Amino acid sequence: MDELKPRAEQPQSEPAGARVYGISRRAVVVGVVLTIGAAVWVAQVEMILHTAEISESVPLIASLAGLIVLVTYNRIAQTLDAMARRNRLVAGLTLVAVGGLVWLAHLSTGGGLRTFLAIVAVGKGAYGLMVIASGQAAGWLRTWQLTRREIVMVYCFLTLAALMMSAKVSGYIIPEMTIYTYFDFQNPTFEEAGAGVPSWLMIKDHEVARTLYEGSDLARPADPSGNAGAMARGLEGLWWPLMQVPWGAWLVPLAVWVSMMTLVFATGMCLMGLMKRYWVEKERLSFPLVMIPLELSAAGVPGAAAGLLHNWSFWVGFLLSGMFSFYVVMHAINPSLPVFRPYYSLAPLFREHPWNAVQNASIQIRPEIAGMSYFMNSDVTFTIWLSTFASDALAVLTRTAGYETRSFPRPFDQGVGAYVMLAVVLLWSARGWLGTGLRAALSGSSEAEARRQAALWLGLLASFGSLVALMVVAGMKLTSALYLFGIITLFFFVYGRARAETGVPHPSAYPMGGHMHVLEYLGGPKSWAGGATPALLGSMFVLGRGYTVTGAGAQIENLKIADEQQIRPSAMTWMTLIAPAAGLVIALVMRLAVSYHYGLNFLEGGAVSGGYAVVQMQNSARDVIDEANMGVGRAVAPANCAAYGAVVTLALVLLRRAFLRFPLHPLGYGLAMIRLRSYWAPILFTWLVKTILLKLGGARAYRQAAPFFLGLAIGHYFFAGIALGCLAFD
């Protein structure tokens, strides 16, 4: 039990005598309301118009938008409350005047924005009259001012609930339930494969699937009077798509998928809960991304905004990033403007043999990557860009020696091997901590920490076992189910560690699709042939290629935020379990309504055969089934490259333990091979700037420059995400 207690010199998660807070009901209610708003926003901007991606970033655009909305509301409420206290007449007239200005804006606009502005104008004017008439309005306004702790709770809720809106989560799940039924006319193997999947996991009715992809045939009811008002038409636009969905056919599969995804997130949550104190108190990881909600939420309470928002260098970085994003958007609207692209290909420089082995070389200008990499470990950023150069050099040497680069070096397979080895090393390093926690859980002690460990271990085993049992009942081989969820759990573990240690600002900085690669390394399609295993593996696309694994980063960061804001860990754990379940239900309802209204084939940039998510799902299912039917064995070349990546990772771990100042970091190597090699340019730039600052000015210069780089990141998310998403909404 002693190992579970924080050391004397380490910061306590719950200081003695300090008050620890539970879940705020107001925060949960506001979180659900903002999640519904995020669903409407994603439906319009990502699915229908396909003009911006607001649900695919780290940190999440929707959660940042919710944070900014709440902080802004608090500041406005504080100002108006102060005015009402001094002079209710002035405050009321001000609100009436604001309503009048909004009404003028309503008259000069059209579309959905006009209806929205009309509602805002009427609300502002009516509330202004209330302020004039009664002092109770000022008290009501104060009632809905959230505390900083509640604002942070809402942000934590949205990081997982709004993640479910992504095309790579709920956008994958809908096709996964219908792909074999609807596309059986294109691929004869789909009909046979789909027959082996139980009806409680997928849609078997061809008509239900057809109308999902092609649009509902249900006729809209006519308005008898023929003169429905704007408000009635607006409400009809909300409820009519919901009425087009055949909910009877969808109810059971939706319930199963929501339950399964909740179990997946519960597995990750329990694992992150077991490791949180070890990473926070013993290894003292930095959690760079946590500073964003903590810094911004401080602006929503009186007297706490004197830090970040009053720092001029933050606003310089914010505006520089904003001007860059604004120019990129304006060039897309008006191509006659001088070309200034965020992406420059270097392929023309590498056309001759053997230099043509360097593939997809480019320079990308990414303010958010440059900004957030400033807070990453310098050894990690150094290793990322150096590993990118070394990988390209290895490809050139391989081509020079007469070998094909298809056999080696295969960076992605190296990254898969690196991720698996990192999981093994991290678990081995924490074996003492986990073992002590398990013994404390089994001891039956009444101490709070022992009960917490027991609950986490029980939750981990129960959720993981339930997932395996569910797949076995569905028809998957037991070994394949164990491999599948075991690999996904390992990816959860390493990605959570990467976010805690480096704050990696990318939602797919893990082996997307790597679960199938590992299965191929272990035995290939021969090991999963037979029964419904191939079809089920093909329909579990969201687990390996979706942003499901990304949730681990949000989970561990939410637990760290709970420590910082003195929120009870159990309360944050429950809220972090409720959030993805609630968000997924809202996201699936939204996507079904929009899909039946417009037709899934024509959404998210699709022409007649679906957008990105549908095409990806088709390819995955076809590849898995075709490989199983061919009966091919183990993929030798990819497995060898994965083994090479694992050996390099282990060598870097041993070298860092043998030499105190060894500069290469195994996590940086894995991240470079998986994803971040594409962003070597902004990472190299930030590494150079950070190194020079530390050499010339030390820690003081580093701290002074930090707001500038944080402004670069937040400015990009605000202008390229929130602002562009709002402009594209109407």
DSSP class per residue in 388-446: HHHHHHHHHHHHHTT--TTTTT-HHHHHHHHHHHHHHHHHHHTHHHHHHHHHHHHTT--
Give a yes or no: residue 191 inside a domain: no
CB atoms < 10 A from the CB of 316, how many? 15
pLDDT exceeds cutoff 80 at 300: no
Per residue in 560-590, pLDDT (tens digit) is: 999 988 898 888 888 889 999 999 999 999 9
pLDDT tens for 421-452 read 999 999 999 998 888 888 887 887 777 778 88
pLDDT tier, 290 (very low <50, low <70, confident <90, very high otherwise): very high
Question: What pLDDT was estimated at residue 307?
Answer: 65
| pLDDT of 112 above 50 | no
Count of CA atoms in the C-beta half-sphere (13 A) of 372: 27
Question: Do 189 and 627 form a contact (C-beta atoms < 8 A)?
Answer: no
Evaluate whether 710 touches 317 at the Cβ level (below 8 Å).
yes
Q: What's the mean per-residue pLDDT of the chain?
A: 82
- pLDDT at residue 419, rounded to an integer: 95
Mean pLDDT of 702-728: 86
pLDDT score of 342: 75
Q: How confident is the model at residue 1 (pLDDT cuts 50, 70, 90)?
A: very low
423 and 498 in a common domain? yes
- Per-residue pLDDT tens over the stretch 365-385: 889 899 999 999 899 999 999
pTM: 0.87
Does 17 have pLDDT greater than 50? no
| 252 in the same domain as 140 | no
Sign of CA dihedral 34, 37, 43, 46: negative
Q: Residue 228: what pLDDT?
A: 47
What's the CA gap between 488 and 507, in Å, rounded?
15
| pLDDT above 50 (res 490) | yes
| 456, pLDDT greater than 50 | yes
Residue ending a domain, among 146, 164, 185, is 146
Q: Please tell me the least confidently modeled range out of 10-14, 203-207, 377-381, 631-635.
A: 10-14
**Cα angle, residue 476 at apex, residues 473 and 478 outer, rounded to 5°:** 90
In this prediction, residue 728 has a pLDDT band, given cuts at 50, 70 and 90, of low
- Higher pLDDT residue, 86 or 499? 499
Query: Is 571 part of a structural domain of the chain?
Result: yes
CA distance 60 to 299: 19
Do 341 and 460 lie in one domain? The reply is yes
Six token digits for residue 111: 């579309």
518/563 same-domain check: yes
DSSP for residue 525: G
Cα–Cα distance for residue pair 437/452, rounded to 1 Å: 9
Segment 492-534, tens digit of pLDDT: 999 999 999 998 888 888 998 888 888 888 877 777 777 788 8
Q: Bridge-partner residues for 344, per DSSP? A: 363
What's the mean pLDDT in 625-639? Answer: 76
pLDDT computed for residue 611 by the predictor: 80
Please tell me whether residues 395 and 345 are part of one structural domain. Answer: yes
Helix (H) or strand (E) holding 534: helix 533-539
Number of domains in the chain: 2
Final residue of a structural domain among 130, 146, 162: 146
Is residue 301 domain-shared with residue 161, that is, in the same domain? yes
C-beta of residue 491 within 8 angstroms of C-beta of residue 515:
yes
Q: What is the pLDDT of residue 252?
A: 94
Do 445 and 520 reside in the same domain of the chain? yes
- 553 or 532: whose pLDDT is higher? 553
Confidence of residue 340 (pLDDT cuts 50, 70, 90): low
The pLDDT, as a whole number, for residue 540 is 86
Q: At what angle do helices 111-133 and 230-243 cross, to 10 degrees?
A: 120
Instruction: Indicate whether 668 pLDDT > 80.
Output: yes
CA–CA distance, 712 with 319 (Å, rounded to integer): 8
Check whether residue 68 and residue 113 sit in a common domain. yes
In a domain, 230, yes or no: no
pLDDT at 653 over 80: yes
Helix 25-42 and helix 569-598, axial crossing angle in degrees, nearest 10:
30
Which residue type occupies 504? Answer: V
The per-residue DSSP string of 300-311 comes to: GSTT--SSGGG-
pLDDT exceeds 80 at position 389: yes
pLDDT confidence of residue 153? 92
pLDDT of residue 13: 38
Q: Is the pLDDT of residue 232 over 60?
A: no
Q: What pLDDT score was predicted for residue 138?
A: 53
| DSSP track, 453-498 | HHHHHHHHHHHHHHHHHHHHHHT--HHHHHHHHHHHHHHHHHHHHH
pLDDT surpassing 90 at residue 167:
no
The pLDDT of residue 219 is above 70: no
Does residue 187 lie within any of the structural domains?
no
Please tell me the distance from the alpha carbon of residue 396 to that of residue 362, in angstroms, as a whole number: 16
Looking at residues 157-177, what average pLDDT do you find? 92
pLDDT number for residue 628: 78
Confidence category of residue 48, pLDDT binned at 50, 70, 90: confident
Cα(28)–Cα(22) distance, integer angstroms: 12
Q: What is the share, in percent, of the chain residues with pLDDT greater than 70?
A: 80
What's the 3-state SS for 335-396? CCCCCCCCEEECHHHCCCCCHHHCCCCEEECCHHHHHHHCCCCHHHHHHHHHHHHHHHHHHH
Of 91, 126, 146, which residue sits at a domain end? 146
Q: Is residue 72 part of a domain?
A: yes
Of 604, 486, 558, nearest to 171 by C-alpha is 604
Q: Are residues 466 and 550 in the same domain?
A: yes
For residues 137 and 168, membership in a common domain is answered with no
Is the pLDDT at 36 greater than 50? The verdict is: yes
Name the strand (E) or helix (H) holding 543: helix 541-545
Return the bridge partners of 362, or none.
345
Mean pLDDT of 229-234: 43
Residue in 277, 271, 666, 641 with CA at minimum distance from that of residue 486 = 271
Query: Which 8-state DSSP code applies to residue 298?
Result: G
Longest dimension (CA), the chain: 86
Contact, 214 vs 606, CB < 8 A? no
Distance CA 469, CA 478 (A): 8
**How many Cβ atoms are within 10 Å of 415's Cβ, its own excluded?**
30
CB atoms within 10 A of CB 653: 20
Between residues 301 and 150, which one has the greater pLDDT? 150
Same domain, 646 and 615: yes
Q: What is the pLDDT of residue 53?
A: 76
pLDDT surpasses 70 at 98 = no
Token representation of residue 577: 């379990």
Reported confidence tier of residue 76, pLDDT bands at 50, 70, 90: confident
Cβ atoms of residues 213 and 206 within 8 Å = no
- Cα separation, 360 vs 723, whole angstroms: 31
Residue 515 lies in a domain: yes
What pLDDT sits at residue 89?
54
Answer yes or no: is pLDDT of 309 > 90: no
35 falls within a domain: no
Q: 106 and 247: one domain?
A: no
Average pLDDT over residues 16-28: 69
Provide the domain limits for residue 86: 57-146
- Greater confidence (105 vs 682) lies with 682
- Measured distance CA(668)–CA(644) in Å, rounded: 16
* Rounded to 5°, angle at Cα 28 from 22 and 34: 150
Q: Contact, 320 vs 715, CB < 8 A?
A: yes
Domain assignment present for residue 591? The answer is yes
CB 376 within 8 A of CB 503: yes
The pLDDT value recorded for residue 96 is 61
Tell me which residue of 108, 89, 109 sits closest to 97, measured CA to CA.
89
